[in-house]
Structure 1
């Protein structure tokens, strides 16, 4: 599907009720973690770290940090035992991140101050990565995010947990709500408000269906990701590649990765 529509997502709106947004994020974090959504991109991310000689991943737009622990384990299994991840967001979530830090013995850390992904402070090093969030940016800010990485001379990767297919839209409108209703009692930490807005006043399922389908329509397919990257890097200083990788059980992840050309020459 090459069509991209930047439609309205409820979770983006400042007026959207915080308990409903939190419940939606808890569900997505649970699914991304337990389905190992981003495990297939670990080799791409590991290659980027090796090419740039960088053991640190700087995760932008990290949200609640869903799937980050799984990515870290995959990087360690890929032969990078010293890999570390720092979580950042324009709206930090230190309570959720602190739990991840404790669970990983400090291998996952976080920046407590707000971090704008379009203007990352020079004091935050690392291979920049964006999981499940690049579709929130319209073309101009999406290009600006990549340009800021090029300006800093750091590696960068963006990863979306879908292949952008019509079948995924169908699944988002049918299978997703059933899965949500089944797993919500098992999502931790426990929350009465999450159960209330799932079963008694079902706002979480309804808005999750809409936002899930819109997220797929907002996604940039590989050819558009490459076009954004080339506009962000008009001098051609970077090696860029984009595409899709598939899980052994079917689903795909769409990706773009880039690093300075001189890093290729050094290997």
Structure 2
């Protein structure tokens, strides 16, 4: 009993009293051009699976609804989509809350076409995608909708992150930045202790099924090693709400509102966010 109390007290101390306030601009394998696509795809597929199963972005739904309603839109353009983690649940929950179909367009500088086709088919077309590369710092004018970035904003160093915000504000587009974490030492500890087991347990259930994913998980475990490294670096690179708000305050535009913070509670439910929208709507 004493051991349990000690462990519970330690985890509470790590999660509530010890936020991970440092930010280090280290590298992630999935950002590297030479990194094999089969490994990047396997890592992103795991991330999509876990985000979807945990409903990790549940706390972001009211914020997204606010952006859609403020701008009188029913369409989201997701930037830096990766493998589209959690987007199916987000689309369904938003549609239910708003009483109409909210459509989502996926995009990325390195489009994961296999995952996007799977999501398009399983959503009945409510989720579609742009097959060509899309640069989040310079989104083509023809691409409309409320912009979102899930679990990817930390990949960008400050000058590029600010460029993403400037591009959205300059084109009078609403944007929502969401990171699925609270950025704490506890999350870092759980990543190291639990994720190796989780990866081995859930990999056979990830869809679409790929033999390459099994090979690079169980025979040559490059996908698990990549997930652990990139997950650790992601937490270290993640911006705090205060850093996001300072960055947004440097964006040059008029009549545009920014708001940042933390939302959600419970394991896997924490979200750091920054939302922005033009005030003329």
Q: TM-score range by the shorter chain?
A: over 0.9
Q: For the residues of structure 1 that align with 2:226 and 2:168, how far apart are their CA atoms?
A: 33
**Relative to 1, partners in 2 of residues 1:23 and 1:160: Cα closer, same or farther, differing over 3 Å?**
same
Find out whether 1:211 has 2:230 as its counterpart. yes
Q: What is the aligned counterpart of 1:130 among 144, 149, 153?
A: 149
Q: What is the aligned counterpart of 1:254 among 260, 263, 272?
A: 272
Q: For the residues of structure 2 that align with 1:235 and 1:90, how far apart are their CA atoms?
A: 26
Q: For the residues of structure 2 that align with 1:247 and 1:188, how far apart are their CA atoms?
A: 28
Deviation per residue, 1:197-256 (Å, 9 max, x gap): 111221111121111011001000001111111111x34521111111114556311100
Deviation, structure 1 residue 92: 1.9
The equivalent of 1:10 in structure 2 is: 29
Find out whether 1:86 has 2:105 as its counterpart. yes
Q: Which runs of 4+ in 1 moved over 3 A?
A: 247-251
Q: TM-score, normalised by structure 2?
A: 0.89
Secondary structure of the 1:141 match is: helix
RMSD: 1.4
Q: Can you give the 5+ residue segments of structure 1 that lack an aligned partner in the other structure?
A: none
Deviation, structure 1 residue 161: 0.6
Q: Can you give the 5+ residue segments of structure 2 that lack an aligned partner in the other structure?
A: 1-19
Secondary structure of the 2:100 match is: coil
Larger mean CA deviation between 245-254 and 163-172 belongs to 245-254
Q: What is the aligned counterpart of 2:209 among 163, 167, 190?
A: 190
Deviation, structure 1 residue 40: 1.4
Q: How does 1:5-84 map to 2 (within 5 A)?
A: 5-84=24-103
The equivalent of 1:151 in structure 2 is: 170
Q: TM-score, normalised by structure 1?
A: 0.94
Deviation per residue, 1:62-98 (Å, 9 max, x gap): 1111211111011012224131111111122333212
The total of aligned residue pairs comes to 262
